[in-house]
Amino acid sequence: MIGVDSFSSVFGGAPAHTETHWTEHIRAIIRAGYSPVLCKPGTPEAGCILTPGQYKKAGKHPCGYLHVIDNPAKVGAVVSYWLSKYGGLNVGLHLGRSNMAVLKQPAGPGMTVEAPGGIGHTWFTLPPGTTFPKVLQGADWSIKHGDRYVLVPPARLSTGAHRLVGGTIAAPEWLLAAAL
Protein backbone atom coordinates (compact mmCIF):
# COMPACT_ATOMS: atom_id res chain seq x y z
CA MET A 1 0.00 0.00 0.00
CA ILE A 2 1.26 3.46 -0.88
CA GLY A 3 1.65 5.76 2.11
CA VAL A 4 -0.27 8.98 2.65
CA ASP A 5 2.70 11.21 3.40
CA SER A 6 3.16 14.46 1.48
CA PHE A 7 5.67 12.82 -0.90
CA SER A 8 3.12 10.15 -1.85
CA SER A 9 0.37 12.74 -2.22
CA VAL A 10 2.45 14.84 -4.62
CA PHE A 11 4.13 12.10 -6.64
CA GLY A 12 1.50 9.36 -6.53
CA GLY A 13 -0.36 10.52 -9.63
CA ALA A 14 1.31 11.47 -12.88
CA PRO A 15 0.06 14.75 -14.32
CA ALA A 16 -1.16 14.99 -17.88
CA HIS A 17 1.59 16.29 -20.10
CA THR A 18 0.12 19.71 -20.75
CA GLU A 19 1.59 23.03 -19.74
CA THR A 20 -1.26 23.71 -17.29
CA HIS A 21 -0.93 20.33 -15.57
CA TRP A 22 2.86 20.57 -15.35
CA THR A 23 2.59 24.09 -13.91
CA GLU A 24 0.16 22.93 -11.22
CA HIS A 25 2.25 19.85 -10.46
CA ILE A 26 5.43 21.91 -9.95
CA ARG A 27 3.51 24.35 -7.73
CA ALA A 28 2.20 21.41 -5.67
CA ILE A 29 5.78 20.17 -5.23
CA ILE A 30 6.84 23.58 -3.90
CA ARG A 31 3.78 23.92 -1.64
CA ALA A 32 4.63 20.52 -0.12
CA GLY A 33 8.03 21.92 0.90
CA TYR A 34 10.16 20.27 -1.77
CA SER A 35 12.67 21.92 -4.11
CA PRO A 36 12.09 20.83 -7.73
CA VAL A 37 14.75 20.71 -10.42
CA LEU A 38 13.67 20.56 -14.07
CA CYS A 39 15.41 17.94 -16.18
CA LYS A 40 15.42 17.45 -19.92
CA PRO A 41 12.79 15.01 -21.21
CA GLY A 42 13.85 11.37 -21.32
CA THR A 43 17.01 12.04 -19.28
CA PRO A 44 18.15 12.77 -15.74
CA GLU A 45 20.10 15.79 -17.06
CA ALA A 46 19.16 19.07 -15.39
CA GLY A 47 18.98 22.15 -17.53
CA CYS A 48 19.12 25.89 -17.10
CA ILE A 49 15.75 27.48 -16.27
CA LEU A 50 16.93 30.96 -17.24
CA THR A 51 15.63 32.51 -20.45
CA PRO A 52 18.33 33.83 -22.81
CA GLY A 53 17.68 37.37 -21.49
CA GLN A 54 18.00 36.29 -17.85
CA TYR A 55 21.13 34.28 -18.65
CA LYS A 56 22.76 37.26 -20.36
CA LYS A 57 21.89 39.51 -17.41
CA ALA A 58 23.25 36.97 -14.89
CA GLY A 59 26.59 36.68 -16.69
CA LYS A 60 28.70 33.58 -16.24
CA HIS A 61 27.16 31.27 -13.69
CA PRO A 62 26.96 27.54 -12.98
CA CYS A 63 23.99 25.83 -14.59
CA GLY A 64 22.18 22.61 -13.85
CA TYR A 65 20.65 21.49 -10.61
CA LEU A 66 21.62 24.69 -8.86
CA HIS A 67 18.55 26.12 -10.61
CA VAL A 68 15.92 25.04 -8.12
CA ILE A 69 12.49 26.51 -8.71
CA ASP A 70 11.32 27.85 -5.36
CA ASN A 71 8.90 30.63 -6.26
CA PRO A 72 5.39 29.38 -7.13
CA ALA A 73 4.59 32.72 -8.81
CA LYS A 74 7.33 32.14 -11.41
CA VAL A 75 6.50 28.50 -12.17
CA GLY A 76 4.10 29.25 -15.04
CA ALA A 77 6.65 31.28 -16.99
CA VAL A 78 9.46 28.79 -16.31
CA VAL A 79 7.38 25.77 -17.36
CA SER A 80 6.15 27.56 -20.49
CA TYR A 81 9.74 28.47 -21.46
CA TRP A 82 11.02 24.98 -20.62
CA LEU A 83 8.36 23.18 -22.68
CA SER A 84 8.95 25.46 -25.67
CA LYS A 85 12.71 24.85 -25.42
CA TYR A 86 12.73 21.08 -24.76
CA GLY A 87 9.24 19.83 -25.66
CA GLY A 88 8.79 18.03 -22.35
CA LEU A 89 10.33 17.62 -18.92
CA ASN A 90 11.34 15.36 -16.09
CA VAL A 91 11.37 16.50 -12.48
CA GLY A 92 13.93 15.83 -9.79
CA LEU A 93 14.17 16.99 -6.18
CA HIS A 94 17.16 18.86 -4.79
CA LEU A 95 17.91 16.66 -1.81
CA GLY A 96 19.51 19.14 0.59
CA ARG A 97 16.94 21.86 0.10
CA SER A 98 14.12 19.29 0.34
CA ASN A 99 15.56 17.75 3.57
CA MET A 100 15.66 14.32 1.95
CA ALA A 101 18.18 11.53 1.46
CA VAL A 102 17.82 8.70 -1.04
CA LEU A 103 19.05 5.13 -0.76
CA LYS A 104 19.64 3.75 -4.27
CA GLN A 105 19.88 -0.03 -4.46
CA PRO A 106 18.46 -3.00 -6.36
CA ALA A 107 14.65 -2.87 -6.28
CA GLY A 108 13.05 -4.67 -3.37
CA PRO A 109 10.66 -4.38 -0.42
CA GLY A 110 10.43 -1.09 1.45
CA MET A 111 11.40 1.16 -1.43
CA THR A 112 9.56 4.40 -2.15
CA VAL A 113 10.13 4.63 -5.90
CA GLU A 114 10.81 1.96 -8.46
CA ALA A 115 13.20 3.39 -11.05
CA PRO A 116 13.87 1.89 -14.47
CA GLY A 117 16.37 -0.95 -14.74
CA GLY A 118 15.45 -2.74 -11.50
CA ILE A 119 16.64 0.11 -9.27
CA GLY A 120 14.88 1.01 -6.04
CA HIS A 121 14.95 4.41 -4.34
CA THR A 122 14.07 4.64 -0.67
CA TRP A 123 13.38 8.26 0.26
CA PHE A 124 14.21 9.34 3.83
CA THR A 125 12.95 12.53 5.45
CA LEU A 126 15.65 14.33 7.41
CA PRO A 127 15.59 16.91 10.18
CA PRO A 128 16.28 20.42 8.81
CA GLY A 129 19.98 21.23 8.66
CA THR A 130 21.15 17.62 8.33
CA THR A 131 24.14 17.32 6.03
CA PHE A 132 26.32 14.41 4.97
CA PRO A 133 30.04 14.87 4.37
CA LYS A 134 29.89 12.72 1.22
CA VAL A 135 27.86 10.11 -0.66
CA LEU A 136 27.65 7.00 1.49
CA GLN A 137 28.08 3.85 -0.56
CA GLY A 138 28.65 0.14 -0.62
CA ALA A 139 29.07 -2.45 -3.36
CA ASP A 140 25.52 -2.20 -4.72
CA TRP A 141 23.98 0.76 -2.90
CA SER A 142 24.52 4.47 -2.29
CA ILE A 143 22.88 7.15 -0.18
CA LYS A 144 22.70 10.62 -1.69
CA HIS A 145 21.98 13.90 0.03
CA GLY A 146 22.97 17.55 -0.09
CA ASP A 147 23.69 19.42 -3.30
CA ARG A 148 22.39 16.63 -5.50
CA TYR A 149 19.08 15.80 -7.09
CA VAL A 150 17.20 12.58 -7.87
CA LEU A 151 14.36 12.08 -10.34
CA VAL A 152 10.85 11.55 -8.99
CA PRO A 153 7.68 10.14 -10.56
CA PRO A 154 6.48 10.58 -13.24
CA ALA A 155 10.00 11.00 -14.68
CA ARG A 156 10.60 8.87 -17.76
CA LEU A 157 13.84 7.59 -19.19
CA SER A 158 14.31 5.59 -22.39
CA THR A 159 14.27 2.44 -20.23
CA GLY A 160 10.99 3.22 -18.45
CA ALA A 161 9.24 5.42 -15.91
CA HIS A 162 9.82 6.13 -12.23
CA ARG A 163 6.86 4.77 -10.27
CA LEU A 164 5.75 5.44 -6.70
CA VAL A 165 5.40 2.16 -4.77
CA GLY A 166 5.63 3.27 -1.12
CA GLY A 167 5.95 6.20 1.25
CA THR A 168 8.90 8.06 2.70
CA ILE A 169 10.59 6.93 5.88
CA ALA A 170 11.89 9.09 8.73
CA ALA A 171 15.68 8.79 8.72
CA PRO A 172 16.76 6.04 11.10
CA GLU A 173 19.36 6.71 13.80
CA TRP A 174 22.13 4.90 11.89
CA LEU A 175 21.63 7.21 8.92
CA LEU A 176 21.58 10.35 11.07
CA ALA A 177 24.76 9.15 12.84
CA ALA A 178 26.45 8.93 9.41
CA ALA A 179 25.81 12.66 8.99
CA LEU A 180 28.08 13.48 11.95
Residue-wise pLDDT for 84-105, tens only, equals 989 999 999 999 999 999 999 9
Higher pLDDT, 57 or 78: 78
Which ranges in the chain belong to alpha helices (H)? 6-11, 19-31, 52-58, 75-86, 95-98, 173-178
Q: What is the mean pLDDT of the chain?
A: 87
Which of 164, 95, 149, 99 shows the shortest CA–CA distance to 125? Answer: 99
pLDDT band at 61 (very low <50, low <70, confident <90, very high): low
- Evaluate if residue 16 carries a pLDDT over 70: no
Cα–Cα distance measured from residue 100 to residue 153, given in angstroms and rounded to the nearest whole number: 15
Query: Is residue 71 over pLDDT 70?
Result: yes
Closest by CA position to 15, among listed 29, 3, 1, 30: 29
Instruction: Give the pLDDT mean for 30-52.
Output: 87
Q: What is the model's pTM?
A: 0.88
Domain ranges of the chain: 13-94, 95-178
User: What's the pLDDT tens digit per position in 111-160?
Assistant: 999 999 999 999 999 998 888 877 888 999 999 998 889 999 999 999 99
- Report d(CA 114, CA 136) in Å as an integer: 20
CA distance 27 to 21: 10
58 has pLDDT over 70: no
* pLDDT at position 33: 93
- Percentage of the chain lying above the pLDDT 70 cut: 87
Looking at residue 43, what is its pLDDT? 93
Assess whether pLDDT exceeds 60 at residue 3: no
Comparing 52-61, 130-139, 168-177, which segment has the lowest mean pLDDT? 52-61
CA 118/CA 131 separation, integer angstroms:
28
Q: Specify the pLDDT at position 2.
A: 46
Smallest CA-to-CA distance from 124 within 110, 137, 138, 114 is with: 110
